[in-house]
Copies of this chain bind each other. A is one copy, B any other.
């Protein structure tokens, strides 16, 4: 292709040239080549757009190519551009590579001037129509080329109609339009200090430039940022002969989907208007008719349309969204593209196309938009329901829920015990709130980002969550929150929609999610293709059961600390932490042991026959203690108000001293994870004992158990060495005492950079590596997630300093490099080392692709993300080919 060919006639292009011609241009070319009735035209390429932005003017020679393009149209239409008798009119439309509907500008009827408008009137024998076209051109041109806000033109039109005492545009007379045209021209001169050009080639040049400029208008920029469309892509410009659906009753225009975009059902779906232009359908002034009415009104056109629709679907091998115009009984195709559809429709269409032998299973799988799956698996608000939205926060965990507002975890628990449904409302949550989150239908916070504590926990539990909703003001002491001028008190019903971030007053009708037959089919196909295994993160028997139902092949991360958080257990945990002696601590641990054992038994039973990876206690112990600031406040009040020193005061002071002594400047990097296990072996010992006692119970009941014990936060091989010995020792004691045995694994989280770097030394002590990508991201970047999100990290992503939030999409360059290196080094000493990730990235498509590419054995994600991960894993295999290493059996 010549470097400086900037213009392609529709006959010259095809669908494969999308990058150069934009989506619309490539589609028009494809349809033209296939022989469909497309009005003639040509496309100015995205190369020209880039050249325009480089030089800030149209590239040399472009307008000459454009003139040749116009000549081509003139030949086909037997009309001349700018001709006074029967002028050729064209539309000038943007057409980007990625779909950006409505973001850029369009000009219709270009080619009309004071002279040619007379010719058009004659040729169409419709003066009013011609001048209406002309005034539309001037208005669009003024807006798009000269940047004059439409409102000025609208006002003039409105005024005119008032003067003429008419309601509808179509009732305005030719004279009226002529008068308006004068006013429009004056308006342009007033605002832009320029005249509406009377040279059609000037019109064309200015219009092309304006479309290029519109690539960088504000709304287009925002759209690109949100949809991660590169700025360098640029837009093409399509110049096409006008056809008119509004020349009489033998004319019309419409939109057609080849299948139902809402359900996916295989029926034609669409609507049309006679004697109308496309914008009239959109504007909603007249109500369009369902497409099958066309069969009666224009039977020939309809049957041609049906056959073209079929042809297009077969040609594009997907459901099409078609725009057409009928000009004097002649059908013209203006656009076709793969139709947007709901998540459910997408699945149904995918499965149906396979069954109709139009596409292969592999293609169907690749077409699944995994991010849409979330919507299918969580309850949603019935779209028919009337709802009272009072605020919008971040859509942190999908699904919708209704409940009575409560403002602390304890109340949440009490209400839940009394059978009430509650929504936990907090300014932000911390681990002490977990027992509240556990029982709530959903969580609403006024602070914190998409990966704040509340969001992470809620997603993990599959509970709806709206967070960072700064439109509401939460007053936990007063047990109320405000939204605008509304005050919501404890006990008031509210609803949240975690998929959109909406906060709603009152109870709303929910639609329960269930796995459609098509989803089940698609997942089955995915399972047949994928090499990555999909595990789930689950901390309770209920979560485990849900995960299994959604197809998890095991538990990749069971966080034992969540089991410490229930209101019933927390006092014992606190007693354990505050113990002054080993004996005291042991006594508290002895109370916790049977509780943990019961937890594990439940999870093992739910996952019978599948591996369950249990992570030993991870968070710093002070997370289980009361808040220091609260204690100090209480103490000051007590000191000021009480005259005599009380025993309570002594106890409080002792508690404050202890809490203060355990305070950490950077708890993320403090005394947590395996460091606890080294310092307080008795805690890990209790947990290990609980695990193996649960194993014993399951064995007695005939339940197959595959326990895997995971040591968190290892940074030096010696830590794992010591703790592995502890596991082996306790396991032997518990199992041998009962003359039983059970194969188990001991492995480690790789979540500290040093662990990844020294994987070769760590691997000898590990049966598996599970990459804790949340913490690994924190330490590799030096980002505290709690402090970064909503603060500098948000700005970094907005400024495009970072391509994506690394807590959402795994950072390949840094974190990914460490993972690759750890896998390679670990396997260099232990070729069959099992590897996987258990951070939140395990449920994110791009990250799953990375895991496939890096040769990991599994990803582990929250239960509700399991289906997504199953499909993404299959897509990874289809896109990237076989994994670098052979996949291990689940059980080895």
Q: Decide yes or no whether A737 CB sits under 8 A from chain B.
A: no
Q: When the two chains form their complex, are residues B666 and A786 in contact, meaning their CB atoms are under 8 A apart?
A: yes
Stretch from A411-419, A775-783, A838-846 contacting the other chain: A775-783
Q: Which of A629-663 contact B (CB under 8 A)?
A: 629, 632-633, 636-637, 640-641
Complexed CA–CA distance, A754 and B775 (Å): 13
User: What B residues does A527 contact at CB under 8 A?
Assistant: none
Q: Decide yes or no whether A664 CB sits under 8 A from chain B.
A: yes
Complexed CA–CA distance, A786 and B628 (Å): 18
The minimal Cβ–Cβ distance linking A855 to chain B, given in whole angstroms, is 19
Q: When the two chains form their complex, are residues A678 and B629 in contact, meaning their CB atoms are under 8 A apart?
A: no
User: What B residues does A757 contact at CB under 8 A?
Assistant: 780, 813-814, 817-818
Q: Decide yes or no whether A476 CB sits under 8 A from chain B.
A: no
Contact partner of A779 among B628, B722, B779, CB < 8 A? B779
Instruction: Digitize A713-733: 1 where CB-to-B-CB distance is under 8 Å, 0 elsewhere.
Output: 101101100100000000000
The minimal Cβ–Cβ distance linking A645 to chain B, given in whole angstroms, is 18
The minimal Cβ–Cβ distance linking A597 to chain B, given in whole angstroms, is 28
Complexed CA–CA distance, A754 and B787 (Å): 18
Q: When the two chains form their complex, are residues A787 and B632 in contact, meaning their CB atoms are under 8 A apart?
A: no
Q: When the two chains form their complex, are residues A667 and B669 in contact, meaning their CB atoms are under 8 A apart?
A: no
Contact partner of A640 among B641, B669, B778, CB < 8 A? B641
Contact partner of A666 among B668, B752, B761, B817, CB < 8 A? B668
Complexed CA–CA distance, A636 and B629 (Å): 11
Known A-B contacts A757-B813, A779-B782, A780-B753; the reply to A671 vs B632 at CB < 8 A is no
Instruction: Digitize A747-760: 1 where CB-to-B-CB distance is under 8 Å, 0 elsewhere.
Output: 00001111001100
Residue of B nearest to A818 (CB): B757
User: What B residues does A628 contact at CB under 8 A?
Assistant: 629
- Which of the listed residues A633, A801, A814 has the most CB atoms from chain B within 10 Å of its own CB? A814
Complexed CA–CA distance, A753 and B815 (Å): 9
User: What B residues does A713 contact at CB under 8 A?
Assistant: 782
Q: Decide yes or no whether A178 CB sits under 8 A from chain B.
A: no
User: What B residues does A715 contact at CB under 8 A?
Assistant: 780-783, 814
Instruction: Digitize A446-487: 1 where CB-to-B-CB distance is under 8 Å, 0 elsewhere.
Output: 000000000000000000000000000000000000000000
The minimal Cβ–Cβ distance linking A637 to chain B, given in whole angstroms, is 6
Complexed CA–CA distance, A408 and B781 (Å): 36
Stretch from A320-328, A354-362, A380-388, A790-798 contacting the other chain: A790-798
Complexed CA–CA distance, A629 and B802 (Å): 35
Q: When the two chains form their complex, are residues B637 and A669 in contact, meaning their CB atoms are under 8 A apart?
A: no
User: What B residues does A751 contact at CB under 8 A?
Assistant: 782
Instruction: Digitize A683-721: 1 where CB-to-B-CB distance is under 8 Å, 0 elsewhere.
Output: 000000000000000000000000000000101101100
Q: When the two chains form their complex, are residues B678 and A782 in contact, meaning their CB atoms are under 8 A apart?
A: no
User: What B residues does A128 contact at CB under 8 A?
Assistant: none
Q: When the two chains form their complex, are residues A787 and B719 in contact, meaning their CB atoms are under 8 A apart?
A: no
User: What B residues does A781 contact at CB under 8 A?
Assistant: 715-716, 752, 754
Q: Decide yes or no whether A375 CB sits under 8 A from chain B.
A: no
Complexed CA–CA distance, A861 and B786 (Å): 33
Complexed CA–CA distance, A667 and B685 (Å): 33
Q: Decide yes or no whether A54 CB sits under 8 A from chain B.
A: no
Q: Decide yes or no whether A665 CB sits under 8 A from chain B.
A: yes
User: What B residues does A679 contact at CB under 8 A?
Assistant: 792, 795
Complexed CA–CA distance, A628 and B633 (Å): 12
Q: When the two chains form their complex, are residues A669 and B801 in contact, meaning their CB atoms are under 8 A apart?
A: no
Contact partner of A722 among B664, B783, B801, CB < 8 A? B801
Q: Decide yes or no whether A185 CB sits under 8 A from chain B.
A: no
User: What B residues does A780 contact at CB under 8 A?
Assistant: 715, 752-754, 757, 779
Complexed CA–CA distance, A156 and B672 (Å): 55
User: What B residues does A636 contact at CB under 8 A?
Assistant: 633, 636-637
Residue of B nearest to A713 (CB): B782
Q: Decide yes or no whether A675 CB sits under 8 A from chain B.
A: yes
Q: Which of A595-639 contact B (CB under 8 A)?
A: 628-629, 632-633, 636-637
Q: When the two chains form their complex, are residues B801 and A678 in contact, meaning their CB atoms are under 8 A apart?
A: yes
| Cross-chain pairs A/B with CB under 8 angstroms, 24 sampled | A632-B633, A636-B636, A636-B637, A664-B787, A665-B667, A666-B784, A667-B784, A668-B782, A669-B782, A671-B792, A678-B795, A678-B801, A716-B781, A716-B802, A752-B780, A753-B780, A753-B818, A754-B815, A757-B780, A757-B813, A757-B814, A757-B817, A757-B818, A779-B780
